[in-house]
Amino acid sequence: CGGIDKRTIEKFEKEAAELGKGSFKYAWVLDKLKAERE
């Protein structure tokens, strides 16, 4: 693919997966806090 080597793509995929997990966890925490306030 393009001029991007496989290692770079794998690195971005790993970082994206970690960011995705992080934002999911963050959203879960916010939902929990919101539920407790109601």
Residue 6 has pLDDT above 80, yes or no: yes
Spacing of C-alpha 32 from chain mean position: 19
Label residue 8 by pLDDT band (50, 70, 90). Answer: confident
Structure tokens at 38: 């109601």
Single pTM value for the model:
0.41
- pLDDT tens string 15-28: 878 777 777 777 88
Alpha-helical regions (H) of 1-38: 6-37
pLDDT of residue 1: 54
Gap between the Cα atoms of 33 and 17, Å rounded: 24
Q: What is the pLDDT of residue 22?
A: 73
